[in-house]
Amino acid sequence: MLKVLRWEFNLWRAMYLWARGRLRGQAPGDEPIGYADATAPIMWALIVLNAIEIPALHIMIPWATVRFIVDLLGVYSLAWMVGILAIMKVHPHLATPAGLRVRYGASVDFTVPWEAIARVGSRIRSHQGMQTVRFEDSTLAVGVGSQTNIDIVLREPMALPVPKTGGQPVAELRVYADDPKALIASVACKRSTTGTSAPAKQPTP
């Protein structure tokens, strides 16, 4: 029950922050890197269809009590879908002075220090199923729409606070970014300003 209430709170908070044009957890010097564009068209389509469905059902249902309940459920469903999109928009990845903060909504949030990164490259990978987080053969994938497009190889395997890993060390990280070139450039810039250096491969055409 507590988990459900926390999820509900995160949805409404995300909608509030999105309406205010604010990001959650962004400190001065942090550069946001979005990942929601891959799913945004689908979410907007569902939002529009739901918005059309609410008045249509209101007109079609003749019973006042049933109509009120259906209206209420329709509005809540609409808010829920807007909240899902908002929660991804206000929790982008962040290139911080300390490292790359990888996020997915409010459910995934960890930072990989710059000095722990050996190299970064771009490669589109598709994954079967709808799981956002996958861990296999020391590779942790945090995908969007069953895809990742950034490969991050670590200097040494390290434990990350992600339940899916079961405490096992991660040697490679795969994530999704709306603009892979921007993420790679941001990684290179942050690493140069923090005194660390490692090759950052440009995106594969």
Examine residue 204 and state whether it is found in any structural domain, yes or no. no
Examine residue 17 and state whether it is found in any structural domain, yes or no. no
The 10s digit of each residue's pLDDT in 178-196 is 999 989 988 888 777 766 6
Residue type, 70: V
The 10s digit of each residue's pLDDT in 78-94 is 999 999 999 999 999 99
Helices within the chain (DSSP H only): 2-20, 40-60, 64-89, 180-193
Boundary (domain end) residue, out of 60, 89, 118? 89
Shared-domain flag, residues 110 and 40: no
Residue type, 45: A
What is the span of the domain harbouring residue 74?
Answer: 36-89
**pTM confidence score:** 0.84
Per the structure, how many domains does the chain have? 2
Shared-domain flag, residues 98 and 166: yes
Choose among 185, 156, 150: nearest CA to 171: 156
Q: CA 13 to CA 119: how far, in whole Å?
A: 35
3-state class (DSSP) for residue 183: helix
Shared-domain flag, residues 80 and 112: no
3-state class (DSSP) for residue 194: coil
158 forms bridges with which residues in the sheet? Answer: 170
Tokens of 112: 């990989």
Examine residue 42 and state whether it is found in any structural domain, yes or no. yes
The 10s digit of each residue's pLDDT in 156-178 is 999 999 999 999 999 999 999 99
Beta carbons within 10 angstroms of residue 106's beta carbon: 19
Examine residue 3 and state whether it is found in any structural domain, yes or no. no
Choose among 78, 52, 159: nearest CA to 116: 159
